[in-house]
Amino acid sequence: MSDQNPFTASKLPFAMLVSVALSFVLALVLMFILELSGTIAMFAGLMILIVVFALLIYFLDEPAAVAQVSTVADEPVVAAVEVEAAVEAVEVVVDEVEAAPAADGDEKPVGLDAPRDGTADDLKLIKGVGPKLEALLNSMGFWHFDQVAAWTAAEISWVDENLEGFKGRVTRDEWVWQAGILAEGGTTAFAAKADKGGKH
């Protein structure tokens, strides 16, 4: 909304001209018809000038003032519409988020119903995997080193979150790295020690 005075400059000279002319005429009337002195007549004319000028400003400015009030009254309506549009936009975003697919952290690795050729790898050669954890991994469909070695970051996250009682063990003990070496026929310091000591 503009701060410009609605009583424009084009109206001001008109109001002044009419006020002066009317005051001059009334001063002459007071002097010659009512036979008042020139000083009194001029003083009365000045008072009349002020009153007439004020009245002209009021009446000339009234339509603009009414329009200004109307504009102010319309502003809350515009603001309400903008707020409603913002709320609708937020609701759309919420709906999109709720409809979005699950994050990569929820990606479960593909498991096997049984070990290949009926023989499972000894997952206890992976540091951090004991008999209980090996049994849990087997129940989830993981029997071989190459399965563990192939886990992506998203799949590692899923396994870490779903190892009941052992959450975070995959990342903490670097299972994927160890399994990669063992899957290629190599060994790790832990695997060599466990194999030699018969701990598995």
Element (H, E) at 145: helix 145-149
172 assigned to some structural domain: yes
The domain total for the chain is 2
Residues of the domain holding 17: 11-99
Kind and range of the H or E run holding 27: helix 11-28
Same structural domain for residues 58 and 120?
no
Digit-coded pLDDT (tens) for 139-183: 999 999 999 999 999 999 999 999 988 899 999 999 999 999 999
Q: What is this structure's pTM?
A: 0.47
pLDDT tens, position by position, 61-78: 555 544 554 555 555 655
Q: H helices then E strands: how many in the chain? A: 8, 0
* Token representation of residue 43: 């003083």
Whether 22 and 83 map to the same domain: the answer is yes
Which of the two residues, 109 and 3, has the higher pLDDT score?
109
pLDDT tens digits along 78-137: 566 677 777 777 676 556 655 555 444 569 999 999 999 999 999 999 999 999 999 999
Residue 92 and residue 17 share a domain: yes
